[in-house]
Amino acid sequence: MERNIWDFLDLLKSRGFNVVKLDNIGKEYDITRIAYNTYDTTIAYVKGSRYPIYTNILNDRKKLYLALNVDTDIDAYKKIKYSIDNPSKPREDNFNMYFEESNDLLDKIPFIKYYKEDGGFYLTSAIYCACMDGVCNSSYHRTMYMDPYRATLRIVPRHLYRMYNESLKRNKELPVAVILGVHPVIELAASLSPPYGVYEIFIAHSLLPNSFKIVQTPLYRIPIPSTASIVLEGVISKDVDWEGPFVDILRIPDKRRKQPIFKLEKVYVNKQFDPMVHAIVPGLNEHILLMGFPREVFIWDTVSRVADVKAVRLTPGSGGWLTAVISIRKRVEGEGKNVILAAFTGHPSLKTVIVVDDDINIDDYSEIDWAISTRFQASKDLVIIGSAKGSTLDPSGNEGVGDKIGIDATCPLNCPRELFKRVEIP
């Protein structure tokens, strides 16, 4: 059965999650305040523009696991890893069965200014789909409004960047289809970074089989999911203009820079349900989980080759990006250091890795602090790697180059375990 965003909202309600509707919300700052102050609530319908928006739909793991139809961290990691290795192409159908052309332009799409420091109004859930030489890619790119026909998008050196630069070499513009308002599993797949040549939309279909069909856009024949709310078809042009500043995942403004321009040609809306647009508030839990959780999969996959892993967490305080806590069932001395090195390989943007035993609850930061305080000695349990490639999100680094640390806060196996256990509350 095909599943769109409304189907997932109905599922949330059926499982007891609080889903509310609001009205008359402004495009400046309102949604940021609402999302921040109503963490336990999914805002399903915020009417303040032609197309309603929703937020907090995927801001905790319970909702994420519900979308994936799994119960545990490890089940989620295994399912995502399997789907990356075994993408599934959906059945193809006719575009006109699902979408109709709209006379709307970008000024009718709900671009939002989330923080006073933002340089303009943004789409934060824009998924760009593009194909070149038989290879297709879908990925998130924040998009800043310019005028009804143009917007700038931030492209970092990944797969769309590769396609765009190849199009520049050929003196061509890159055709794209921007999809908005999709099922959370499609959003999660678009946040992955599979090998070049693996289409994230097919990963989504493997994660949730038969939940959508593939249709090709009229102008450029780009395959997109039939359950998208809105499709913006156009090109990433050779022209550039200013983008930013933009408050990013650490709630620190990213700098203003010249970026490529998306030029709109056609707008299409889904005629089988009421279209909506996802407002992912930068720096809040939904942003952190969508961006960080897929990296937990790669950390788990790499670390599992050297240790028995119980769980992985990218910490919210690090934007779900720079610090990882890894729980292991320790078997031999030195294993903690191997885990640290493997984690840096699995997610090179990491700055800090903390390894704890499986009796530590890695969702309780006081327990992590307790493990470091009682099971760690810097002279033998600290790993420092200087001047390594990291993340440009770290403002203390030098253009993405900085120091990394690893903390092995596991119990030594040659000492009685009772020395490192807290007594139970009677």
Pairing of strands 41-47, 18-23: parallel
3-state secondary structure of 13: helix
As a whole number of angstroms, the distance between CA 79 and CA 300 comes to 12
3-state secondary structure of 396: coil
As a whole number of angstroms, the distance between CA 279 and CA 54 comes to 6
- Taking Cα atoms as reference points, which of 159, 217, 220, 222 lies closest to residue 191? 159
As a whole number of angstroms, the distance between CA 78 and CA 207 comes to 11
As a whole number of angstroms, the distance between CA 333 and CA 330 comes to 8
Show the tokens assigned to 54.
């929703």
As a whole number of angstroms, the distance between CA 150 and CA 262 comes to 6
- Taking Cα atoms as reference points, which of 347, 257, 267 lies closest to residue 107? 267
Cβ-contact 420, 375 below 8 angstroms? yes
Active site residue 147: no
Show the tokens assigned to 380.
């033998």
Catalytic residue among 73, 118, 248, 408: 248
Cβ-contact 322, 393 below 8 angstroms? yes
- Taking Cα atoms as reference points, which of 254, 312, 309 lies closest to residue 119? 254
Cis peptide before 110 (omega within 30 of 0): no
- Taking Cα atoms as reference points, which of 302, 10, 5, 60 lies closest to residue 181? 5
Cβ-contact 141, 153 below 8 angstroms? yes
Positions marked active-site: 248
